[in-house]
Amino acid sequence: MPSFSFTIDAECPETWARAGTIATPHGVIQTPIFMPVGTQATVKSVAPEELHEVGVTIILANTYHLMLRPGSQLISDFGGLHAFMHWNGPILTDSGGFQVFSMGHLRKLSEEGAAFKSHLGTHRWAERTLAVKDRYRTEQALFGIVQGAFEPELRRYSAHVIGNMPFAGIAVGGLSVGEPKAVLWEMLRHITPELPKDKPRHLLGVGSPEDFVTAVSLGMDMFDCALPTRVARHGGLFTRHGRVNITAARFRVERGPIEAECDCYTCRNYSAAYVHHLARTEEQLYYRLGSIHNIRYMLRLASQVRAAICAGTFPAFRDTFLADYTPAPEEVREEQREKWKMARRANRALGRPTSVYEQRKPR
């Protein structure tokens, strides 16, 4: 098997959607695909064996976080990240560039740093990355990242430049960071025509069901986001009609599963009433069962989207899905974001670590 290859299996003539197959030394990935986020070399509360059971073929980890703890040397001593975390499938490691945006109070900006205001400087970073890959002759597949904020001309220019560099795939960064959805879709309409067709496209940070389906229609293949597991931990579970709050009183005596059509471990084995009880009492088992449900939902949706593309029925599938699925209201999403931000600020004020790069100094 080659170290990395991408094959387009089917395309939708009415949209930019496509179904593909990515071959890697660690396994095959069929696209479109959702990748659960395992920032610290773990998908929170879910074991690698359970990820395999729900159908996960690739997970995402974060190079920046793991560099800080436990450290690259320790991971290397254990035989690499796969051996360290007991995961034998493909892993996509994020460079950590998003942390430059999200953790601005900790960053220092310089030409040698990770943030560049000039669109040309962003591209110099990409050139340096390719040079390092050639120097070490690593078999890892590098994806170039398209930037350009919310400026159509910069996005098109970046997509053209990055798309013509010898990267194995293309990632689209700097979107899904709080901008209106209409802006996200507009940027993709500018980016996709500039990208090479023979490389997989990864849209960073998108993981809600409705956004997944829409972004596939705009030419994206791979998606990662902590949203499915994060909202699960807060009681939000996906169903074909939209997200439900499992702590709601209506689930207190519900004998059936969270969703009758769901084939996940949680729905096969537990009543919605029991899951409701676990969530209301904040039992640790709930975080596992809720996360498994949402991850399986996203993977089942990805399989349905792929099947529709291959069958030539994707536009009808997309329209029916979006008509039936009610997204969480924007005000609810904003309220959740503010709660998470407030919790981080409160922890910071109390001297509690809110992440691996905010550890308290030794006394």
23 half-sphere exposure, CB direction, 13 A CA radius: 8
| Helix H or strand E segment including 348 | helix 330-349
Q: Is 72 left (phi over 0), alpha (psi -120 to 50) or beta?
A: alpha
**Beta strand 33-36 pairing with 59-62:** unpaired
Query: 3-state SS string over 309-345?
Result: HHHCCHHHHHHHHHHHCECCCHHHHHHHHHHHHHHHH
Cβ atoms of residues 78 and 46 within 8 Å = no
252: phi then psi, degrees, rounded to nearest 5: -60, -35
Cβ atoms of residues 18 and 221 within 8 Å = yes
Active-site position among 9, 77, 94, 263? 94
Cβ atoms of residues 227 and 207 within 8 Å = yes
Residue 224 among the catalytic residues: yes
Cβ atoms of residues 126 and 162 within 8 Å = yes
Structure-token match 């329209």, residue found: 319
Active-site position among 9, 211, 224, 324? 224
First to last CA, the chain: 52
Structure-token match 């690259």, residue found: 72
Residues 6+ apart with CB under 8 A from 155: 146, 147, 148, 149, 187, 190, 191
Token pair for 67 = 């560099």
CA distances from residue 47 to 42, 83, 85, 228, 270 in whole angstroms, order as listed: 8, 14, 10, 16, 19
257 half-sphere exposure, CB direction, 13 A CA radius: 17
Residue 221 among the catalytic residues: no
Active-site positions? 94, 224
